[in-house]
């Protein structure tokens, strides 16, 4: 065998993702792209805000000498200061540039944090359903993932979470607004979670870090605002990116922000900067850092996402699907009408509807519908959803 047994094993476990992708391509070749309703990807179809394009043009017309060189592994001071300013304003906490490290997206940021925190065999709790990459990211750094299934309406089940904590628990990863459910955790829930982690950390003589992965924090509906985890425990680390809020996933730009009063903050910050270097990221993309510096208060058109959520949510509910109404991100996570969610996705494919089984997110019995796609495709898909519901005896 040429590649490691571990990667070969991961590849075979994840082979259904490749098969789904291939099936989408096959159907598009037969029926045409507008007749295949592909709800599988989290790749925004919207363009970045006009202000991003203006900045890009301005920078291209007035290049700064040295702008393509290496910089500090933490990123440009000016960019980190701009991020810290907004964080300080939002939380009332004394954030400075030193508390922010620019990263290669949230994915890069999560790897930097886990690399810095984990010893071999340390445990990281995730709340199922969850973004499947967490499993690989934790493994990358010798950690062990512990899944705790969420409670009603996909909110954290704190009693179950408490039971899962052991002396080896190093961190809990949360993701709100959530991929795949779209739910947002409120201040009440985050307050209880923060208190629980602080209490258990004290009891066990350890620090349990709350890692909040929040690339969808600005994609919320109905006038909602996502409460900042920094308000609820000082041992909190935010990892985020501009992949979704500025629609720049291919540009790989994000950051890690650390609570100003976190335990052993100086050492942690030094470790994070070092990990950014030795993971081979070296630094976040230079050009993107410059561009997002002035865009910390910008975001894509949320109303367009909300319209798509409403269209699809209302349609699925009217057909008899059971769905928790999402308040953010761009996913629905309905209950699978068939006990076997993988089987359900196969039936849906007969109607050219492509969705991802909940098993892929650690929660079988559901399926994920991603609606960051063209509105017309969503509208075109309505009769197919109705036929699917009819076949399954829903409506």
Ligand X SMILES: Cc1ncc(COP(=O)(O)O)c(C=O)c1O
Residue 121 near residue 140 (C-beta atoms within 8 A):
no
Where in 310-369 is the site for ligand X (CB under 6 A)?
none
> Binding segment for ligand X among 87-95, 102-110, 343-351, 366-374 (CB under 6 A)?
102-110
Cβ(36)–Cβ(352) under 8 Å?
yes
Residues 6+ apart with CB under 8 A from 95: 84, 85, 87, 88, 257, 260
Pick from 131, 330, 333, 385: which binds ligand X (CB under 6 A)?
Answer: 131
Distance CA 287, CA 68 (A): 7
> Rounded CA gap, 38 and 380, in Å?
11
Q: Which one of the spans 77-85, 241-249, 266-274, 375-383 is the region binding ligand X (CB under 6 A)?
A: 241-249
Q: Does the footprint of ligand X cover residue 129 (CB under 6 A)?
A: no
Q: Contact region for ligand X (CB under 6 A) — 99-107, 116-124, 342-350, 361-369?
A: 99-107
Least CB distance from residue 47 to ligand X, whole Å? 17
121 backbone φψ class: left, alpha, beta (φ>0; ψ -120 to 50): left
CA–CA separation, 125 and 134 (whole Å): 10
Q: What token pair was written down for 311?
A: 């269209």
Cis upstream peptide for 18 (omega within 30°): no
- Contact with ligand X (CB under 6 A): which of 24, 194, 254, 362? 254
Q: Is 105 in the site for ligand X (CB under 6 A)?
A: yes
- Comparison of 122 and 213: residue with beta carbon closer to ligand X: 213
* Residues near ligand X (CB under 6 A), total: 13
Spell out, one character per residue from 151 to 170, where the chain touches ligand X: x when CB under 6 A holds, - when not.
Answer: --------------------
Which part of the chain contacts ligand X (CB under 6 A), choosing from 87-95, 105-113, 256-264, 290-298?
A: 105-113
Q: How many residues does the chain have?
A: 395
Q: Is 207 in the site for ligand X (CB under 6 A)?
A: no
Q: Is 59 exposed, middle or buried (0-12, 13-18, 19+ CB in 10 A)?
A: middle
Cβ-based nearer residue to ligand X, 27 or 184: 184
Q: Which of 91, 116, 228, 243 binds ligand X (CB under 6 A)?
A: 243
Inter-residue contact 129 to 358 (CB < 8 Å) = yes
Residue whose CB is less far from ligand X, 181 or 352: 181
> CB–CB of 118/328 below 8 Å?
no
Which of 241, 276, 327, 352 is the binder for ligand X (CB under 6 A)? 241
175 touching ligand X, by CB under 6 A: yes
Distance of alpha carbon 104 from alpha carbon 111, whole angstroms: 10
Peptide bond into 303 cis (omega under 30): no
Query: Which region holds residue 66: left if phi is over 0, alpha if psi is between -120 and 50, else beta?
Result: left
Pick between residue 75 and residue 201 the one whose CB is nearest to ligand X: 75
Determine if 91 is a binding residue for ligand X (CB under 6 A): no
SS3 of residue 111 by DSSP:
helix
Q: How far is the CB of 107 from ligand X (least distance, A)?
A: 3
Interface segment toward ligand X; rule CB under 6 A; list 17-25, 103-111, 268-276, 353-361: 103-111
In whole angstroms, how close is the CB of 119 to ligand X at the nearest point? 24
Residue closer to ligand X by CB (options 48, 249) is 249
Minimum Å gap between C-beta 130 and ligand X is 8
106, 174, 196, 389: residue in contact with ligand X (rule CB under 6 A): 106
Binding to ligand X (CB under 6 A): which residues in 27-86? 42
Burial 298-329 (b: 16+ CB within 10 A, else e): bbbeeeebbebbebbbebbeebebebbebbbb
Q: Which residues bind ligand X (CB under 6 A)?
A: 42, 105-107, 131, 175, 179, 213, 215, 241, 243, 249, 254
């Amino acid at each position: 065998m040429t590649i490691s047994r571990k990667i070969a094993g991961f590849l075979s476990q994840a082979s259904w993702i490749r098969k789904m992708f291939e099936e989408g391509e096959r159907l598009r070749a037969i029926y045409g792209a507008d007749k295949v309703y592909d709800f599988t990807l989290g790749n925004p179809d919207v363009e970045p805000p006009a202000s991003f394009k203006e900045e890009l043009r301005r920078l291209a017309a007035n290049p700064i000498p040295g702008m393509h060189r290496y910089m500090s592994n933490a990123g440009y001071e000016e960019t980190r200061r701009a991020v810290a300013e907004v964080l300080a304003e939002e939380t009332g906490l004394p954030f400075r540039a030193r508390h922010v490290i620019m990263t290669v997206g949230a994915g890069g940021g999560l790897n930097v944090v886990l690399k810095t925190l984990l010893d071999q065999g340390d445990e990281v709790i995730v709340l199922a359903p969850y973004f499947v990459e967490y499993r690989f990211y934790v493994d990358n750094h010798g950690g062990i993932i512990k899944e705790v299934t969420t409670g009603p309406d996909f909110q954290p089940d704190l009693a179950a979470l408490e039971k899962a904590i052991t002396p080896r628990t190093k961190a809990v990863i949360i993701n709100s607004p959530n991929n795949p459910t779209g739910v947002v955790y409120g201040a009440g829930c985050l307050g209880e979670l923060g208190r629980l982690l602080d209490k258990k950390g004290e009891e066990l003589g350890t620090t349990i870090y709350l890692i909040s992965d929040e690339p969808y924090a600005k994609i919320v509906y109905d006038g909602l605002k996502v409460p900042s985890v920094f308000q609820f425990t000082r041992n909190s680390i935010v990892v985020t990116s501009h992949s979704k809020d500025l629609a720049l996933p291919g540009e790989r730009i994000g950051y890690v922000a650390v609570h100003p009063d976190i335990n052993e903050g100086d050492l942690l910050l030094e470790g994070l900067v070092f990990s950014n270097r030795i993971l081979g990221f070296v630094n976040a993309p230079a050009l993107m850092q410059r561009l997002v510096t002035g865009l910390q208060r910008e975001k894509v058109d949320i109303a367009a996402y909300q319209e798509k959520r409403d269209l699809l949510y209302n349609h699925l509910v009217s057909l008899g699907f059971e769905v928790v109404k999402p308040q953010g991100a761009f996913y629905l996570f309905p209950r699978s009408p068939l006990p076997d969610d993988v089987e359900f996705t196969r039936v849906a494919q007969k109607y050219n509807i492509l969705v991802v089984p909940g098993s892929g997110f650690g929660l079988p019995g559901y399926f994920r519908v991603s609606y960051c796609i063209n509105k017309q495709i969503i509208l075109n898909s309505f009769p197919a959803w109705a036929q699917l519901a009819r076949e399954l005896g829903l409506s």
